[in-house]
Amino acid sequence: MKIIRFDSVGGASGDMILGALIALGADRDTIVRGLESLLPGHFTLSVEETSSHGIAGVRARVALPETEHHHHCRGEHGQEHGHHHHDHHAFREIRALIEGSALPEPVKRSSVAVFALLAEVEGKIHGKAPEEVSFHEVGAVDSIVDIVGCCYGFHLLGAEAVSVSPLPTGRGTLECAHGVMPIPAPATAELLTRGLEIAPSDEPFELLTPTGAALLAAWPHAAVPSGSRVLAAASSFGRRELLHRPNLLRAMLIDAAERPEGEDALEELSCNLDDCTGEVTGYLIECLFAAGALDVWTEAIQMKKQRPGVKLCVLTRPEERETMLALIFRESTTLGVRIAPLARRSLARRERKVVTPRGEIRVKVAYGADGGVLSVKPEFEDCRRIAESGGLPLKEVIRDAAARFGNGGA
């Protein structure tokens, strides 16, 4: 699987992303031909080599005929926000335009998905159904070119997902179709709730535009696994010269290492405790399991001043990390938690049942890569119930259940 990694120093906009994709290897002429089937004669797309702060890269420019050019949205320092055309387009109009074009079907689906996300966000902001939304800046011709062109570039590179660094948004105010607004713009702020992270911003400009945020939020996200290879790297610049940093978006095309079947990406959270009672630690372990921890254990350790203590370890999925951290900080005395990524390889498992004269017993069966049975483990509580009710030795019940499974008693 190919993943595109975006690392942002100067934010992200549609033209910055488009330039990055072309610099990574997406063919500009192919993109232009596809866009011409959508908007014939309404634009020109150029990509020029440039540099900033000693770093070489590219800058993409979408130029419009003079009759369609109109500075529509400006930041507080009078610099262009990046959207120029003043016509408004409804979501349904843009969708019909895309679906009626000669673009490849995956590009159509991806482009419509980005505009659908924008329509959902704008509808939430203005209290309208997505189908009723009429776009302002992001309905402009150059923004349509940016979004569809980026989706075409994404397709040409064979990418399936993106990985995105925290994004600087800028600070201050901007003037747009809704008047003077704080940065980030309303649509951008809402899009940030869709899985994007922000970074501190020291620039008094808008750095992250709605178009850029929509693209990065709408595309599938994936982590870059260890062992992946970087196939290409490129830097793309925005139009504005920033005060304190290059207006740069770096992109890397990555051939993601395939995770072997049965391997999971997990995290181990750990902390050392020497002033937490056994009762409190036990309660915390119960809470962690109840919240979805895959495993929780303690290890005896010796801490500073020769004090005996325990190391609390929690195995969790990355998406559950914050829940686990909140519980650890709330219920223990620790002031810090270590976070370590790790991989876990697991056998394929199924639960089966065996029938005995005294009732059914669940059996956990593990299978190897060739499908053969590697281990059989009768469920302890089922065996205990039958042993107690029948006055039988527990180990005999366990042995009999395993033997019955091996003899086809499932």
On the question of pLDDT at 67 being above 60, the answer is no
Residue 91 near residue 128, CB atoms below 8 Å: no
DSSP string, 145-201: HHHHHHHHHHHHTTEEEEEE--EE-B-SEEEETTEEEESSPHHHHHHTTTT--EE--
The residues pairing with 308 across neighbouring beta strands, listed in sequence order, are: 302
> Which pair of structure tokens corresponds to residue 408?
């086809």
CB 192 within 8 A of CB 209: no
- For residue 78, what pLDDT is reported? 33
Cα separation of 39 and 43, whole Å?
Answer: 8
Confidence of residue 82 (pLDDT cuts 50, 70, 90): very low
What is the distance between the alpha carbons of residues 63 and 150, in angstroms, rounded to a whole number? 16
Predicted confidence band of residue 223 (pLDDT cuts 50, 70, 90): confident
Average pLDDT over residues 225-233: 91
pLDDT computed for residue 264 by the predictor: 82
Higher pLDDT, 142 or 362: 362
Write out pLDDT tens, residues 146-202.
Answer: 999 999 999 999 999 999 999 999 999 988 777 899 999 999 999 999 989 999 888
Mean pLDDT of the region 231-257: 94
**How confident is the model at residue 17, as a pLDDT?**
98
Tell me whether the omega of the peptide bond preceding residue 225 falls within 30 degrees of 0, making it cis: no
| pLDDT, position 84 | 43
Residue with tokens 């195995």: 315
Most confident range, picked from 22-26, 79-83, 133-137: 22-26
Examine the pLDDT at 332 and tell me if it is beyond 50.
yes
236 Cβ contact partners less than 8 Å away, ≥ 6 residues apart: 16, 17, 18, 19, 20, 23, 57, 58, 59, 60, 248, 249, 250, 251
Under 8 Å CB-to-CB from 208, ≥6 apart: which residues? 8, 11, 12, 13, 167, 168, 169, 170, 184, 188
State the pLDDT at residue 79: 35
Q: Are residues 264 and 343 in contact, defined by beta-carbon separation less than 8 angstroms? A: yes
Q: What's the Rg (C-alpha) of the chain?
A: 28
Domains (range + CATH), the chain: 2-255 (no CATH), 264-345 (3.30.70.1380), 348-406 (3.10.20.300)
